[in-house]
Amino acid sequence: MTADNDSIDCDQRREFLAACSSAALCGFATALAGGEALANAPSSPGGHARRLYPAALLVDERGAPFNGRSLQPRTNYLFHFPFVATPCLLIDLARDVGGVGRGCSIVAFSAICSHQLAYPAKEVSFIRFQAKASTHSEAERIHCCADHSVYDPAQGARVVAGPAPAPLAQIELSYDAKTGNLTATGLRGTDQFDAFFRKYDFKLGMEFGGRARDLVGRTSQLQELTRFCRNVAQC
């Protein structure tokens, strides 16, 4: 994707916020068989491991590219990346947090809690972004009601409360200022994929057949969390 002024500005802000100089990335390997990442890239700003996956354009329920300018602020959106069965949360925090978009406000994270691997399923989601404060956490936090692990999406989903041992893995996004298109391109941080697939092997097999570990492909559907899950836990 051709670089644009908005994406360049946000990239510069991310580097500044991370207090780390940028480094050129080169020499990536071709995609590995069996759904592996394209390559293990050099560490991203902040020192977290970075992995690139085949890019997936985020689309709406009709299959049309989702315009990032139409996102409702401080609202939970869900898509799957990099695998068919691995859910992610996308949020427009409506303020500059070093993300993407016109205001550098859009961020995305793996929605697999790093404690007990709770995740958004069609029946219920115990993990979600909460715009308002609750009994167990401050406003504008990602909160897992299964164990009260709390993450700050404005600071790379770092753990701010509860038993979670690690931040949520951050999903790298690219943004096209001309079209508003959003594309998932990679991951930073420690993912929970292996443990997730082991723990939920039978359940995912029933839901996805043999496709749970397949890469999502060229597109991934983005929709509000409440449209995907029948129940979203509040706590």
CATH code of residue 88: 2.102.10.10
The answer to whether position 57 is within a domain reads yes
The answer to whether position 32 is within a domain reads no
Q: What is the pLDDT of residue 75?
A: 98
The answer to whether position 26 is within a domain reads no
The answer to whether position 25 is within a domain reads no
Q: How far is CA 58 from the centre of its chain?
A: 12
Domain range holding 205? 5-19+38-228
182-188 and 158-161 beta bridge pairing: unpaired
Mean pLDDT, rounded, for 98-122: 97
Strand order in the sheet with 158-161: 127-130, 141-144, 149-152, 158-161
Q: Is 9 helix (H, G, I), strand (E, B) or coil?
A: helix
- Token pair, residue 74, equals 């401080």
- Token pair, residue 33, equals 């068989």
The CA distance from 88 to 111, in Å, is 5
List pLDDT tens digits, range 42-74: 444 444 689 999 999 999 999 999 999 999 999
Mean pLDDT, rounded, for 97-108: 97
Q: What is the pLDDT of residue 137?
A: 84
The answer to whether position 233 is within a domain reads no
- In the predicted structure, residue 27 carries a pLDDT above the cut 80: no
The DSSP H or E segment spanning 227 is helix 225-228
List pLDDT tens digits, range 172-224: 999 999 999 999 999 999 999 999 999 999 999 999 999 999 999 999 999 99
The CA distance from 41 to 76, in Å, is 29
Facing residues of 188 across strands? 50, 170
The answer to whether position 28 is within a domain reads no
The answer to whether position 162 is within a domain reads yes
The answer to whether position 27 is within a domain reads no
- In the predicted structure, residue 155 carries a pLDDT above the cut 70: yes
Query: Total structural domains in the chain?
Result: 1
